[in-house]
């Protein structure tokens, strides 16, 4: 195989991009939320009885929230919000949270206001929860207060997007993306050259040991990344049909 497909940049692009994948992305969000290794646990707001009401499970992703918070449970109590958005933003600005930011009002009675900094660098993350009744700051957390899951995966996300380390980061990820696109062209070219003698499909690998190692690697990757595994099965089926012809 072409040596460039063993470079660490395309591998890092693939690994750090798993956060957006259908299977792995949802699984990682769920694990981080369940183990509370993401951003600090959202505070509950006490209702009139003085006791915290049970949390509502997050049954679907909330695109308004940072990635590692999208599947965290949402606190719920029994009181409606009294303070308005202007008052909440004034409180957040007093805590050093500047625009751009995401402001999420309580979607149900008793939920706190959420203000989360929209940052390009994971270390600048900042989230503030405000009591909807009296404007008390329930939680003021920065990146140093986040769990290991949030720190790792949010760093990977911002690095993947070329934002974590400025222009050099962007250019390096651009080079990796271009390399991946080139592989999409060189791979079928190599497959075509391997056919030999006008075969419709390349000849099987002659060395049984090598064949077993390749099959094992494909099996591991296919099990770890189900959609990639499905793609490989389709490719193998197509090659088998061409070989039969």
What residues contact 173, with CB distance under 8 A and at least 6 apart? 9, 13, 159, 160, 161, 162
How confident is the model at residue 50, as a pLDDT?
A: 42
pLDDT score at 80: 64
Looking at residue 86, its pLDDT comes to 93
Whether residue 128 contacts residue 119, with contact meaning beta carbons closer than 8 Å, is answered with: no
Print pLDDT tens along the chain (245 aa): 444 444 555 677 778 888 877 788 888 888 887 887 887 777 765 544 443 434 444 445 555 566 666 666 655 545 666 889 999 999 999 999 988 898 988 877 778 898 988 888 888 889 898 988 888 898 898 888 888 888 888 898 889 989 899 999 999 989 888 988 998 899 888 888 877 666 666 777 778 888 889 889 888 888 888 888 899 899 888 877 876 76
Helix and strand numbers, DSSP H then E, in the chain: 7, 4
Q: Could you tell me the two tokens for 65?
A: 């929230």
User: Which residue carries 């008793």 as its tokens?
Assistant: 110
> Comparing C-alpha atoms, which of 168, 174, 163 is closest to residue 155?
163
Q: In this structure, are residues 103 and 115 in contact, taking their beta carbons and an 8 Å threshold?
A: yes
For residue 84, give Cα distances in angstroms to 65, 74, 97, 109.
20, 20, 17, 14
Query: Residue 67 carries which DSSP code?
Result: G
Q: What does the pLDDT read at residue 61?
A: 55
Please tell me whether the overall predicted TM-score, pTM, comes out greater than 0.75 for this model. Answer: no
């Amino acid at each position: 195989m072409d040596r460039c497909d063993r470079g660490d940049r395309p591998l890092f692009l693939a690994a750090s991009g798993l956060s957006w994948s259908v299977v792995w992305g949802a699984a990682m969000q769920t694990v981080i939320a369940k183990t509370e290794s993401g951003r600090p646990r959202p505070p509950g707001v006490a209702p009139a009885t003085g006791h915290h009401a049970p949390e509502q499970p997050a049954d679907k992703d909330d695109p308004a929230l940072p990635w590692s918070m999208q599947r965290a449970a949402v606190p719920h109590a029994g009181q409606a919000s009294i303070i308005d958005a202007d008052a909440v933003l004034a409180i957040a600005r007093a805590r050093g949270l500047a625009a751009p930011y995401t402001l999420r009002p309580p979607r149900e009675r008793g939920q706190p206001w959420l203000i989360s900094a929209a940052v390009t660098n994971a270390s600048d993350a900042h989230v503030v929860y405000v009591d909807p009744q009296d404007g008390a700051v329930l939680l003021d957390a920065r990146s140093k207060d986040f769990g290991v899951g949030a720190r790792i995966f949010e760093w990977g996300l911002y690095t993947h997007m070329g934002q974590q380390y400025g222009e050099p980061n962007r250019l390096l990820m651009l080079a990796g993306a271009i390399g991946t696109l080139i592989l999409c062209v060189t791979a079928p070219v190599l497959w075509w050259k391997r056919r030999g003698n006008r075969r419709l499909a390349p000849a099987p690998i002659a060395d049984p040991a090598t064949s077993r190692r390749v099959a094992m690697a494909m099996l591991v990757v296919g099990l770890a990344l189900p959609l990639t595994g499905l793609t490989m099965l389709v490719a193998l089926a197509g090659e088998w049909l061409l070989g039969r012809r």
